[in-house]
Amino acid sequence: MPYAANNLRNDLKFWLAFNQISVIGPVRIGRLLDYFPDLQTAWQADLSELAQAGLEFKIAQEVAAKKREINPEQELEKIEKAGVKIMAFSDPGYPKLLKEIYAPPFLLYYFGELDLNNDFSLAIVGTRKITNYGRQATEKIAGELAQAGLTIVSGLALGIDACAHQSALDNRGKTVAVLGSGLGQIYPAYNRRLAEKIIESGGAVVSEFPFNMRPLKFNFPQRNRVISGLSLGTLVTEAGLKSGALITAKYALEQNREVFAVPGNIFSPLAAGPNQLIKLGAKMAENANDILETLNLQKAQEFKSVKQAVPENETEKILLAFLAEAPYHVDKLALTAKMDISAVNSALVVMEMKGMIRNLGGQVYVKAR
């Protein structure tokens, strides 16, 4: 359920107001919430109280100054008038995968339906300068994944991103676009119609940035961590060595998610990125099945329609045995089971969706009773 639907309208306007202040990100909002009983109290705090809450003095000065320029009620009215939905970190519907990353966005703005906790999501990213090969590879794999029941996550950019979104739509799949701008500044403008189709098909267009935020250059690396954070893994189909797609892949690795890459022509600069990722240990993907097997999602469509509590493979059997004894943090579970952390993460997501285990929060899991 969207945060705005929780009858906490008064609280929401202060989330929105703080999000207008660029120096307040996920880490600093966490400090404020740890110190103050709620964000309304934090908004009403003076300079000394903000500093006592853990904000650096210069930051506290800037926050105090910015607060005088912002009207929380007007910010909320603006959002409501535009038909934007809001989801705060505290909302029960906030994407579980995104909660697991370092410093997740404390606020998500979106159009459409952002219900990913019953979905299997995979990010597909790459160059804006798409070639015929890149288009063919992306259409094939994105289409196959959509048919298998996966939600395709990308960034609405020209090239590979747009191709991945469109391929999911063409195969009656669900897709989510994450912007590097506010929802009032859909970027690039060329893909506005694509954004509308994503929303119409049951997907979502999402941003952590204030509604009128322009597509500033430094927003996009920040946006990329959300693309990978919403997903079980990230696939790079075509990209140069300096492509932002490799930043997304780097975030995926830091988030203990799988990274996949489509091998390409050794003479093509746009194949250099995926080829380099494969050299560094990314899983080579020639088709959707390479990804589905790695993530143990060959039956994703079935899992979405009915939860199955019976272990499907040896990995699930081993993990379930440990979790039946006591709650485990994912790091300790991987160490105890002597398994790769990314493989454990992938298995736990599937097992939770099947109803076999429960996430107690903070990446601590236990067998469902």
Per-residue model confidence (pLDDT) at position 7 = 41
pLDDT in tens, 23-65: 999 999 999 999 999 999 999 999 999 999 999 999 999 999 9
pLDDT in tens, 335-355: 999 998 888 988 888 888 777
343, 274: one domain: no
Between residues 306 and 63, the one the model is more confident about: 63
What is the Cα–Cα distance from 253 to 258, expressed in whole angstroms? Answer: 7
50, 199: one domain: no
Query: Which SS3 state, helix, strand or coil, does residue 254 take?
Result: helix
48 within domain boundaries: yes
Per-residue model confidence (pLDDT) at position 5 = 41
286, 319: one domain: no
283, 315: one domain: no
- Kindly indicate the confidence band of residue 2, based on its pLDDT and cuts at 50, 70 and 90: very low
Q: In degrees, to the nearest 5, what angle opens at C-alpha 224 toward C-alphas 221 and 226?
A: 130
Sign for the pseudo-dihedral over CA of 180, 213, 82, 158 = negative
Point out the least confidently predicted range of 110-114, 167-171, 300-304. 300-304
Query: Which SS3 state, helix, strand or coil, does residue 365 take?
Result: strand
Residue 157 and residue 188 in contact, taking contact as beta carbons nearer than 8 Å: yes
CATH number (domain holding residue 177): 3.40.50.450
Phi, psi torsion values for 255, nearest 5 degrees: -90, 10
Cα–Cα distance list, 209 to 24, 43, 181 (Å): 12, 19, 6
Between residues 246 and 312, the one the model is more confident about: 246
- Please give the span between the terminal C-alpha atoms of the chain, in angstroms, as a whole number: 26
183, 321: one domain: no
pTM of the model: 0.81
CATH number (domain holding residue 320): 1.10.10.10
Per-residue model confidence (pLDDT) at position 299 = 62
Domain count, the chain: 3
Q: What is the mean pLDDT of residues 171-198?
A: 97
Per-residue model confidence (pLDDT) at position 152 = 98
In this predicted structure, the answer to whether residue 325 has a pLDDT above a threshold of 80 is: no
In this predicted structure, the answer to whether residue 94 has a pLDDT above a threshold of 90 is: yes
Q: What is the mean pLDDT of residues 182-198?
A: 96
Per-residue model confidence (pLDDT) at position 368 = 74
What is the Cα–Cα distance from 71 to 45, expressed in whole angstroms? Answer: 15
From 64, 82, 100, the end of a domain falls on 82
What is the Cα–Cα distance from 111 to 147, expressed in whole angstroms? Answer: 24
Chain CA centroid to CA 98, Å: 5
255 within domain boundaries: yes
Per-residue model confidence (pLDDT) at position 369 = 59
Q: What is the mean pLDDT of residues 117-126?
A: 93
For residue 39, give its domain range: 3-82
What is the Cα–Cα distance from 138 to 196, expressed in whole angstroms? Answer: 21
97 within domain boundaries: no
What is the Cα–Cα distance from 345 to 343, expressed in whole angstroms? Answer: 5
Per-residue model confidence (pLDDT) at position 357 = 87
What is the Cα–Cα distance from 354 to 368, expressed in whole angstroms? Answer: 10
Per-residue model confidence (pLDDT) at position 305 = 52
Instruction: Count other C-beta atoms under 10 Å from residue 279's C-beta.
Output: 9
Between residues 336 and 325, the one the model is more confident about: 336
What is the Cα–Cα distance from 63 to 128, expressed in whole angstroms? Answer: 37
Per-residue model confidence (pLDDT) at position 222 = 95
From 294, 316, 335, the end of a domain falls on 294
286, 314: one domain: no
User: For 269, which DSSP code?
Assistant: G
Per-residue model confidence (pLDDT) at position 90 = 83
**pLDDT > 90 in the chain, percent:** 76
What is the Cα–Cα distance from 234 to 220, expressed in whole angstroms? Answer: 16
- Kindly indicate the confidence band of residue 86, based on its pLDDT and cuts at 50, 70 and 90: very high
- Kindly indicate the confidence band of residue 296, based on its pLDDT and cuts at 50, 70 and 90: confident
